[in-house]
């Protein structure tokens, strides 16, 4: 047994004896590892145990194994890694700047199972034959998704999505090159004026990050209720209540879907409602909430801003046969004001590609939109459209014509 293995064995034994919880008491485990390494060094000087080639590296390895995610911890600690996924014990991938690469990390089937169990310890989520999928948040804020056989062919499929850029304001997006300062200024004004905003894009396009940044423009005295499948938003506002869905128990009871959260949010005296992502029937409840006079924001998967509007007109139809497009389409036209669409280019750079205004009009069953900004040869450039509800900007003390006037 080498020195690192001896250290790990001793630390695990002391963790058990002292009743430490590695998942929650990181400071206690860190101090324990430092204590054991110092004692081990003293014993190695007397020749009682093999000497450590690099005590600091050995301590990091033991700490990762006991309080972290072992072989995967190096990728969680690497700020350039955006996502980690495991197709099988010998297939551990990471993505850097949107580009996937196969790592040299080789695991065993037992290690993968142990890592998944360890990650689910603090989430309150379960994974078994009756519930073969799990979506959970890790303590560091990363999003975990796991699928087990026989839904997968042979091995567990594990995805860990990190949030590399934590944007708490639109200024952070400007600094990152995601949006221009002029477009960010307009979006800031739209949020302060209380317009309803839909953020669209593909997976990993930066929708959640942008939603988080937009929320930073909400006036500080306002109360915000967020509703998500799994906690991902991390708003810096002072008055925030975050809600997440709950899976059914082993008896099949106690499930809390996103539709229920959106309804409950209206009973919590919200000044704003932020829904992490709409995928299905909860879109109807979101539209009803936005039409109740409470401003809000949400994200949606779509290929363009136009597609996002079409999709938000279609998803509510999943709520029931009594819901028709004759009701939904004009409701979308009156409830959604701005659509912000993002995309990631071939180099892994995330940018706002277009911003459109929903005019409130419906022509032949199609919601009319007007371009505010669009990506072109010279980057994100101003279009000819104008945001709806100029009276809201006026009430908020915003000079909208001056803001939209071309700079000389």
Q: How many helices (H) and strands (E) does the chain have?
A: 14, 15
**CATH 3.40.50.300 domain span(s) along the chain:** 170-404
Q: How far apart are CA 182 and CA 199, in angstroms?
A: 18
Q: Of the CATH numbers 3.90.199.10, 3.30.1180.10, 1.20.140.10, 3.40.50.300, which one belongs to the domain with range 170-404?
A: 3.40.50.300
List where CATH 3.30.450.90 sits in the chain. Answer: 73-161
What's the CATH class of domain 73-161? alpha beta
Q: Which residues contact 175 (CB under 8 A, 6 or more apart)?
A: none
Put the strands of the sheet holding 133-137 in their side by side order.
Answer: 99-102, 91-96, 81-88, 157-161, 143-147, 133-137
Give pLDDT tens digits along the chain (408 positions).
Answer: 578 888 888 888 888 888 888 877 878 888 888 888 888 888 888 888 888 888 888 888 888 888 888 899 999 999 899 999 999 999 999 998 888 999 999 999 999 999 998 888 877 777 877 789 999 888 888 899 999 998 999 999 999 998 766 789 999 999 999 999 999 999 999 999 999 999 999 988 999 999 999 999 999 999 999 999 999 998 988 899 999 998 887 777 888 999 999 999 999 999 999 999 999 999 999 999 999 889 999 999 999 999 999 999 999 999 988 999 999 999 999 999 999 999 998 788 899 999 999 999 999 899 999 999 999 888 899 999 999 999 999 999 999 988 887 655
CA distance 402 to 385: 15
Q: How far apart are CA 137 and CA 231, in angstroms?
A: 6
Radius of gyration of the chain (CA): 25
Residue 371 has a pLDDT of: 95
């Amino acid at each position: 047994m080498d020195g690192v293995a001896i250290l790990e064995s001793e630390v695990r034994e002391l963790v058990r004896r002292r009743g430490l919880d590695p998942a929650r008491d990181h400071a206690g485990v860190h101090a324990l590892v430092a204590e054991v390494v110092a004692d081990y060094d003293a014993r190695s000087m007397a020749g009682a145990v093999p000497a450590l080639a690099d005590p600091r590296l050995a301590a990091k390895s033991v700490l990762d194994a006991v309080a972290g995610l072992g072989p995967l911890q190096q990728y969680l600690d690497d700020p350039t890694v955006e996502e980690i996924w495991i197709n099988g014990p010998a297939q551990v991938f990471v993505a850097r700047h949107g580009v996937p690469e196969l790592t040299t990390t080789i695991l065993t089937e037992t290690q993968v199972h142990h890592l998944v169990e360890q990650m689910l310890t603090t989430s309150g989520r379960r994974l078994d034959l009756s519930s073969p999928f799990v979506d959970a948040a890790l303590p560091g804020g990363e999003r975990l998704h796991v699928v087990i056989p026989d839904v997968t062919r042979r091995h567990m499929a594990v995805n860990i999505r990190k949030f590399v850029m934590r944007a708490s304001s639109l200024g952070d997006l400007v600094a990152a090159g995601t949006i221009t300062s002029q477009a960010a200024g307009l979006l800031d004004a739209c949020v302060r004026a209380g317009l309803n905003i839909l953020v669209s894009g593909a997976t990993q396009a930066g929708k959640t990050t942008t939603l988080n940044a937009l929320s930073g423009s909400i006036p500080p005295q306002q109360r915000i209720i967020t509703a998500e499948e799994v906690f991902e938003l991390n708003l810096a506002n002072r008055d925030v209540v975050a809600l997440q869905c709950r899976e059914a128990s082993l008896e099949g009871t106690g499930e809390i879907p996103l539709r229920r959260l959106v309804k409950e949010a209206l009973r919590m005296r919200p000044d704003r409602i932020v829904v992490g992502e709409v995928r299905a029937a909860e879109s109807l409840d979101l539209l009803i909430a936005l039409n109740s006079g409470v401003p809000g924001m949400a994200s949606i998967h779509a290929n363009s801003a136009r597609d996002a509007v079409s999709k938000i007109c279609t998803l509510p139809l999943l709520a029931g046969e009594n819901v028709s497009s004759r009701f939904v389409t004009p409701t979308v036209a009156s409830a959604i004001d701005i659509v912000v669409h993002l995309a990631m280019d071939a180099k892994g750079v995330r940018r706002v590609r277009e911003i459109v205004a929903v005019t409130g009009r419906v022509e032949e069953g199609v919601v009319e939109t007007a371009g505010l900004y669009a990506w072109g040869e010279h980057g994100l450039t101003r279009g000819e459209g104008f945001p709806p509800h100029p009276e809201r900007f006026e009430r908020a003390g915003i000079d909208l014509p001056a803001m939209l006037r071309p700079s000389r």
